Amino acid sequence: MSNTQFDRRDFIKTALAGSAAVSLASLAIPAMARQEAHSSALHYGPMPGIAKLDANENPYGPSKAALSAIMKASQQGGAYYAYETGLRLIDMIAERYSLKPENVTLSSGSSGVLTSAALYASQTGKILGPDLFWDTTALAPHNQGKADILRLPKTNDLAIDLDAFYEAITDEVSMVQVTNPNNPTGRALDPVQLEKFCIKASKKCLVLVDEAYNELTDMPEKHSMIHLINKGHNIAVGRTFSKIYGLAGMRVGYLLSSADNIEKISKFGMGGYAMNQAGLAAAIASFDDNAFLTFSKEKIEQGREMVMSAVKANGLSALPSTTSFVFVNLGDVNADKFRAEMKAQNVMIRGVYRDYLSWSRVSMGKIEDVQKYVNALPRALDTLRNT
């Protein structure tokens, strides 16, 4: 084997590194999904008649272009490892953000790279996050019996106090994690304030910004912190094809950071072995599919307006959202009980988060499914208030 070939293989191993399905917990399938899988013939996605509004998926995907790429890639490449396809996607991503391929790593969904980052950070300290954020992957070290997450105190308006965040970065913190826009609140931070925070905070530790919903903001570029990587700040940004791209089941996500961080974080993942031809082909076909992205964004906005009006009409309130979900305040109604009542009407949503007992997250879906939520909402509230 020539040196060039060897270097390339070596590069592939590290550049594609990322998915860290390292703990059994991260492989666990939610009980509800497992039950449904066993009770039905092989069926992909929610059963007919179920409005699945609980995981912020985009049911308008995969796009037509993605579907034909999935078929072609499976026919031509399903029998082969997907290294070259992975490198193609890495090149496209690097070019879009004016980065180098060494600044990009892929994983099976962004959960892989975010888990790798958490495990990497846990070698030298603790992860600090807001009270509420998408903490599934930040919990990986805790799930392995290592350090728990440090959290900021709750705020009344569920906003993130960036000054308090900065002050909370003590010597024991090795990484701060921000989900922006945040999940489950749906709020985006002011980009200027966030940029200042990232620059200051990254002098103390690694700053991980999870931008899973960035494309849904009014000005995605302005809200992104990717440009700070180019300027040499100690920042990593996670992105995914699971949300607006409509490819949650195809499992492709990525992390951007300095070449040094990418190399170190990648050691906690499965490398190119985590990637598959069909998912990569779908991601490549979707990356620049602006017509599909615009269509999806419009549907999500239409759904949000429907939910916001229904919330108001039923005497409730919700946080403003720049994402594909809305965080509804049910007042005196418990969010787990509300979820059960909605499920009885074939509408799946989220229940209680931590100790936010009255807050309920609903994802946007196909418009007819959002309409089912709108119809079921008053009936569920009535039942709960009269029992």
| Contact call for residues 200 and 104 (beta carbons, < 8 A) | no
| Contact call for residues 141 and 147 (beta carbons, < 8 A) | yes
Q: Which is nearer to ligand PLP, 54 or 341 (CB)?
A: 54
- Picking from 220, 248, 225, the residue whose alpha carbon sits closest to that of residue 236 is 225
Give, for 178, the enclosing helix (H) or strand (E): strand 173-179
Q: Which of residues 103-122 bind ligand PLP (CB under 6 A)?
A: 109-111
Report the nearest approach of ligand PLP to the CB of residue 333 (Å).
24
Q: Is 387 exposed, middle or buried (0-12, 13-18, 19+ CB in 10 A)?
A: exposed
Report the nearest approach of ligand PLP to the CB of residue 185 (Å).
11
| Contact call for residues 271 and 14 (beta carbons, < 8 A) | yes
Per-residue contact string for residues 46-85; x = within reach of ligand PLP by CB under 6 A: ----------x-----------------------------
Backbone angles phi and psi of 237, in degrees to 5: -125, 130
Of the residues 134, 245, 292, 359, which one makes contact with ligand PLP according to CB under 6 A:
134
Per-residue contact string for residues 170-209; x = within reach of ligand PLP by CB under 6 A: ---------x---x--------------------------
Of the residues 103, 116, 240, 324, which one makes contact with ligand PLP according to CB under 6 A:
240
Alpha-carbon gap, residue 103 to 152, rounded angstroms? 30
Q: Is 259 exposed, middle or buried (0-12, 13-18, 19+ CB in 10 A)?
A: middle
Of the residues 18, 129, 253, 271, which one makes contact with ligand PLP according to CB under 6 A:
253
Give, for 337, the enclosing helix (H) or strand (E): helix 335-344
Q: How many residues bind ligand PLP (CB under 6 A)?
A: 13
Q: Report if residue 217 touches ligand PLP, rule: CB under 6 A.
A: no
The DSSP 8-state label assigned to residue 51 in this structure reads: E
Backbone angles phi and psi of 176, in degrees to 5: -105, 145
Q: Which is nearer to ligand PLP, 178 or 380 (CB)?
A: 178
Q: Which is nearer to ligand PLP, 208 or 381 (CB)?
A: 208
Per-residue contact string for residues 13-52; x = within reach of ligand PLP by CB under 6 A: ----------------------------------------
Q: Which is nearer to ligand PLP, 270 or 381 (CB)?
A: 270
Report the nearest approach of ligand PLP to the CB of residue 243 (Å).
7
Q: Which is nearer to ligand PLP, 271 or 381 (CB)?
A: 271
Alpha-carbon gap, residue 89 to 105, rounded angstroms? 10
| Contact call for residues 176 and 141 (beta carbons, < 8 A) | no
Q: Which residue number has the CB closest to ligand PLP?
A: 109
Alpha-carbon gap, residue 104 to 173, rounded angstroms? 24
Report the nearest approach of ligand PLP to the CB of residue 238 (Å).
6
| Contact call for residues 26 and 323 (beta carbons, < 8 A) | no
Considering only the stretches 192-200, 215-223, 240-248, 260-268, report the one whose residues sit in contact with ligand PLP under the rule CB under 6 A: 240-248
Torsion angle of alpha carbons 34, 116, 136, 189, nearest 10°?
Answer: -140
Of the residues 118, 127, 225, 248, which one makes contact with ligand PLP according to CB under 6 A:
248
Half-sphere exposure of 201 (CA within 13 A, CB side): 31
The DSSP 8-state label assigned to residue 30 in this structure reads: P
Q: Report if residue 216 touches ligand PLP, rule: CB under 6 A.
A: no
Report the nearest approach of ligand PLP to the CB of residue 37 (Å).
18
Q: Which is nearer to ligand PLP, 86 or 381 (CB)?
A: 86
Cis amide bond preceding 130, omega within 30 = no
Q: Report if residue 226 touches ligand PLP, rule: CB under 6 A.
A: no
Which residues contribute to the site for ligand PLP (CB under 6 A)? 56, 109-111, 134, 179, 183, 210, 212, 240, 242, 248, 253
